[in-house]
Amino acid sequence: MAVKITKEQCITCGACVPVCPFGAIEMREDTAYITEACTACGACIEVCPAEAIAREAEQKEVAMDKTQYKDIWVYIEVAEGNPRNVGLELLGEGRKLADAMGQKLAGVLIGQDIAGLAKEAFAAGADRVYLVEDAELAHYNTDGFTATMVDLIQTYKPSVVLMGATNDGRDLGPRVACRVGTGLTADCTGLGIDETTGLVAWTRPAFGGNIMATILCPEHRPQMGTVRPSVFKRPVPDYSKTGEIIRVASKVKAADIRTKLIEVIRVCTASCNLEEAEIIVSGGRGLCKPENFSLIEALADVLGGAVGASRAAVDAGWKPAMHQVGQTGKTVGPKIYIACGISGAIQHLAGMSSSDIVIAINKDPDAPIFKVADFGIVGDVMEVLPLLTEEFRKIKAG
C-alpha cells in the first residue's frame, strides 16, 4: 500500500505536514507533496479536510506458482558423523506443522557416508529423507552445501524449510533463501500456523528482546526460517518407524568450492558445547572476578557438564562469548541447569527456560532467578560451590 495525494482535490491547507512523524510531506505552490521518506503509516489521511489523501494499492507481480510447493523440510546438520540435536528437535516440531497442514515431513541429509543417519530422522518423525552424499561434502563448506540445498529445493519444491540457528545454519540459510528468491526469518523461538492464512507463523525476538514479532511469508516459497537450538524438546525416538530414502546425486565439483579445509583445530571442548549438554553450570556477576570461574569449571567437570555464563560475565571479559546463555547468547535446554551468582534478568531466563530442572545459588533471597528455580540455595556462591563439588566427588567415588 502507498499513500497518494490527488492534486485536483488538495486545498494546500498544510494540515497534513505537522502530523507526519517522518517529515515526509512538503508544501509546494499548488499541492502537498509526499517524499520518499513516507512509510505509508496513514497519519495524514485522517486530518485532510478535503479528503485528498488516500491509500493506493500497489500492483504486486509474483510469478511464483505457490501450488507447486508442498511438504515440510528439516535440514539435519551433521557433526562428526552424528546428527546435531537441533535437527532432531526441528523434526519433532516439523511433525506438528506437517500434520496441521496435511503435508509430509522430510529430513535433508548432506555429507559423506551418512546414509545410516536416516534411521534417526525416521525415528524423530520424518516420512522421507533426501540424501546427498559426496566426498566434496564430507565437511560443511558454504559453496558446496548452498549449491546442493538450492538444487534440492528447485527440484522438489518444499513449502517450508527449517534449519537450526547454529553457526552453519546461519551461514547456509540466508544464502539459500537469496538464491531461491524467498525470505528467511532468523533466530526463531516459536513456530505455529496462522489461523487466517494457513501460513507458518515464525516468532522471533525483536528490539533486543523487548517484543516478540510474528512474521509470515505470503508471496514466496519456500517459507524459510532458522530456529535456535534447544527451543523445542527432542522427540522421544521411535526406531520402529521407517520411511522413504530419496538418494540425489551431487552436482558439486571440487572447482565449485572456493575454500579448502586444511585442519580442524578444536577450540571448544565439551565444556562449552552448550547446545548438546545435559548439565550446565553457569556463572554470573555474583562470582565477583574471573578467577572465581574456576569454581564453576570444577563443578561442571565433576558433573560432566558444560560451562555457561551470563551476559554480564561475558561483557566483563570473564568468559568468551561462546559460553553466553541468554537472549543474545545461546538458548539451552539441559536436564539440569545450575545458575551460580546469576540474578535472573529476563534476557537470561529466555535462554534457559526450557531446562528440565533449574538450581539457583544466590545470596539475595529476592533474586528473580528463584522464581523460576526448582531448587534454590541462598548463600555465598564462593562458599556453596566448593561444598557441592566435594559432595558430588564423594558420591561419584562411592
CA dihedral 324, 328, 331, 336 (to 10 degrees): 40
> Could you tell me how many helices (H) and strands (E) the chain has, helices first?
10, 21
Evaluate whether the domain defined by 66-256 bears CATH number 3.40.50.150: no
pLDDT in the model for residue 240? 94
Measured distance CA(143)–CA(82) in Å, rounded: 22
**Residue 50 CB-density burial (10 A; 0-12 exposed, 13-18 middle, 19+ buried):** middle
Measured distance CA(143)–CA(130) in Å, rounded: 19
Q: Find residue 32's DSSP bridge partners.
A: 27
Q: Per the structure block, which three cell numbers stand in for 205?
A: 525476538
Measured distance CA(214)–CA(37) in Å, rounded: 25
Q: Which fold has domain 270-397?
A: Rossmann fold (3.40.50)
pLDDT in the model for residue 321? 87
pLDDT in the model for residue 332? 87
pLDDT means over runs of 10, the chain (398 residues) = 84 90 86 87 89 76 79 94 92 95 96 95 96 94 96 96 93 96 92 92 78 89 92 91 95 90 73 80 92 93 92 92 86 91 89 89 93 93 93 88
pLDDT in the model for residue 347? 84
CATH of 1-59, one of 3.60.15.10, 3.30.70.20, 1.10.1060.10, 3.40.50.300: 3.30.70.20
Task: Confirm if 84 and 276 have CB atoms less than 8 A apart.
Answer: yes
Give the Cα-Cα-Cα angle 136, 161, 273 (nearest 5 degrees): 65
Give how far the C-alpha of residue 330 lies from the chain's centroid of Cα atoms, to the nearest Å.
Answer: 10
pLDDT in the model for residue 152? 97
Per CATH, 1-59 and 270-397 having the same topology is answered no
Measured distance CA(207)–CA(213) in Å, rounded: 9
Task: Confirm if 134 and 126 have CB atoms less than 8 A apart.
Answer: no
Bridge-based pairing of strands 223-227 and 184-188 is parallel
CA dihedral 132, 137, 143, 148 (to 10 degrees): 0
Q: Find residue 214's DSSP bridge partners.
A: 203
Domain definitions of the chain by residue range = 1-59, 66-256, 270-397
Measured distance CA(379)–CA(341) in Å, rounded: 9
Which residues are CB-contacts of 57 (< 8 A; sequence separation ≥ 6)?
1, 2
**Residue 113 CB-density burial (10 A; 0-12 exposed, 13-18 middle, 19+ buried):** exposed
Q: Find residue 282's DSSP bridge partners.
A: 308, 339
Bridge-based pairing of strands 160-164 and 223-227 is parallel
Measured distance CA(141)–CA(109) in Å, rounded: 14
pLDDT in the model for residue 275? 79
Q: Report the sign of the C-alpha dihedral through residues 161, 166, 171, 174, in that order.
A: positive
